[in-house]
Homo-oligomer: A and B are copies of this chain.
Amino acid sequence: MTGWVAVAGLGPGAEALVTPEVQAALAEATDVVGYIPYVARVVPRAGLVLHPSDNRVELERARLALDLAARGRRVVVVSSGDPGVFAMASALFEALEGRGETPEIRILPGITAMLAAAARIGAPLGHDFCAINLSDNLKPWALIEKRLRLAAEADFAMAFYNPRSKSRPEGFARALQILRECCGPERPICFARAVSTPDEAIRTVTLAEARPEMADMRSVVILGNSATRRVGPWVYTPRSAP
């Protein structure tokens, strides 16, 4: 048996947002590796070994997947959303550095959180935009601040991943303060929680009204650019520059 690793994006939560390509990989897999809540989304079956692991052990998880594949196993590493956006694909390639033999590797894209959220909100990312991870686990906070200011100067719409967690309660409040300074109080900001799941909640306010508690670990946050507007219940960014 020839082993392989597929790093697959499960999308934001709903089965209807999982691609057939990812479903096919799961159907062929002998092993599924991933963070506990993502592995829990895979339907168990005879012959499929599940390897759930805790958060913040991405490199160990990637090494396990490569080791299993080297022994001939067919391994799917599951990520939420898209594996290439603040998820497991980079960790897999980091784990690959310095290894000798390399198994077959495929990255299988998925619907990433910001695009699932944008679809529910309207089209807030309808013009040039950026995606910023607000966690300072793997980068200095000063770099986050610098990127926020430059992104505002560029008038990008912005999507924020990992806006807030219990271990980092302060950062998002500082981010909102910077954004208010740079973008003014009236800019629309959208909080999207648990999109496409039964817990889904979407809320749009102005930057002046935004409060850190509006986001949690299951949220993605989207800020409009200077032209972003409301029409009926929707928020969208026009295709033309202001």
Contacts and interface: CB of A to CB of B under 8 A. Distances in A.
Interface of A: 11, 14-21, 24, 58, 82-86, 89-94, 96-97, 102, 105-112, 115-116, 118-120, 122-133, 138-140, 143, 146-147, 150-151, 153-156, 231-232, 234, 236-241
Question: For A15, A86, A107, which residue has the most chain B Cβ atoms within 10 angstroms?
Answer: A107
A122 B147 contact: no
Contacts of A122: 89, 93, 107
B24 A20 contact: no
Question: Which of A24, A118, A124 counts the most chain B CB atoms within 10 A?
Answer: A118
Contacts of A239: 58, 86, 90-91, 94, 138
A contact patch SS: mixed
Contact of A108 (B18, B58, B119, B240): B119
Residue of A14, A130, A231 with highest tally of chain B CB at under 10 A = A130
A232 B90 contact: no
Given A109-B111, A138-B241, 8 more contacts: A19-B111, A58-B239, A85-B115, A107-B119, A108-B119, A111-B111, A130-B156, A143-B241
A131 B16 CA distance: 26
A166 to B, nearest CB: 21
Contacts of A154: 130, 146-147, 150-151, 154
Nearest to A114: B84
Given A130-B129, A153-B150, A118 B84 contact: yes
B94 A139 contact: no
A193 B14 CA distance: 30
Contacts of A129: 130-131
B139 A120 contact: no
Given A16-B19, A109-B116, A115-B85, A90 B131 contact: no
A127 B90 contact: yes
26 contacts: A16-B20, A17-B19, A17-B109, A18-B19, A82-B119, A83-B123, A84-B126, A85-B125, A86-B127, A86-B239, A89-B118, A89-B119, A90-B126, A93-B123, A93-B126, A93-B234, A96-B234, A112-B115, A125-B131, A127-B133, A129-B131, A130-B131, A130-B156, A138-B240, A139-B240, A150-B150
